[in-house]
Amino acid sequence: MKKKNRVVSRIVLHIALIFLCFVVAFPFLWMLTNSIKTKDEIWKMPPSMFPEIAQWNNYKEVFSDGMFLRYIWNSSYTAVICTIIVLINSALFAYALTYIHFKGKKVLFTLIMATYIMPSAATHIPSYMILSRTGLMNTHAGYIISSSASIFNIFFFMTVFSRINLSIINAAKVDGAGHWQIFWRIVAPMSASSFVTLGLLSFIGNYNNYLWPSLILRDKEKYFVSMGLRSFFSSQGAYGMKWGTIMAACCCIIIPLLLVFFFCEKWIINGITSDAAVKE
Amino acid sequence: MKKSYYNNRKKKARQNRTKGKGARRFKESMTGFLFLLPALLPLLVFWVGPVLYSLWLSFTDWDMMSPEIHFVGLSNYKSLIGQSDFMAVLQNTLVFALGSVIPTILLGLLAALALSSAKKGTRIYRMVMFAPYITPMVAVSIVWSWIFEPRVGILNYVLSFLGIHGLKWIQSRNTAMLSVIIVTVWKQIGWTLLFYLEALQKVPGNLLEAAAIDGAGKVKRFLKITLPMISPTTFFLLIITTINSLQAYDQIQVLTQGGPAGSTRTLLYYYYQEAFESFHTGKASAVAVILVLITVILSLAETKVSRKYIYYE
What is the distance between the alpha carbons of residues A107 and B164, in angstroms, rounded to a whole number? Answer: 58
> A249 CA to chain B: closest CA distance, Å?
9
Note the pLDDT of residue B5.
Answer: 52
* pLDDT band at residue B2 using 50, 70 and 90 as cut-offs: very low
What is the pLDDT, as a whole number, of residue A90?
Answer: 96
How many Cα atoms sit within 13 Å of A57 on the Cβ side?
Answer: 8
Which of A17-26, A167-176, A264-273, B301-310 is most confident?
A: A17-26
A-B contacts at Cβ under 8 angstroms: 257
Reported as a single tens digit per residue, the pLDDT across B109-159 is: 999 999 988 888 888 999 999 999 999 999 999 999 999 998 888 999 999
Among the partner-chain residues A90, A100, A226, the one whose CB lies closest to the CB of B138 is A226
A130-144, B5-19, B243-257, B275-289: range with lowest mean pLDDT: B5-19
A100-104, A236-240, B54-58, B192-196: the lowest-pLDDT one: A236-240
User: How many residues are listed for chain A in this entry?
Assistant: 280
Which residues 123-182 of chain B have a CB within 8 Å of chain A?
Answer: 125-132, 134-140, 142-147, 149, 151-152, 154, 157
Catalogue all structural domains in chain A, each as residue range(s) with its CATH number: 67-232+250-278 (1.10.3720.10)
Chain A hits for B115, Cβ within 8 Å: 17
pLDDT exceeds cutoff 50 at B312: no
pLDDT at residue A276, as a whole number? 56
B positions 38-77 inside 8 Å of A (CB): 38-40, 42-43, 45-51, 53-54, 57, 64
Distance, CA of A209 to CA of A75 (rounded, Å): 9
Q: How far, in Å, CA of A180 to CA of A185, rounded? A: 8
d(CA B143, CA A234): 13
Tell me whether 0.85 is exceeded by the ipTM.
Answer: yes
pLDDT greater than 50 at residue B311: no
- pLDDT value of residue B10: 55
Question: Residue B20 — very low, low, confident or very high, per pLDDT cuts 50/70/90?
Answer: low
Collect all residues of chain B within an 8 Å Cβ-Cβ radius of residue A115: 43, 47-48, 51
Q: Which B residues 187-206 touch A at CB under 8 Å?
A: 189-191, 194-195, 197-198
Q: Which domains does chain B have, with CATH numbers?
A: 16-57 (no CATH), 76-312 (1.10.3720.10)
| Average pLDDT for A97-119 | 85
Give the closest residue to B134 by CA, choosing from A203, A5, A246: A203
Q: Three-state SS for B30? A: helix
- Asked if B136's CB is within 8 angstroms of A254's CB, the reply is yes
Single pTM value for the model? 0.89
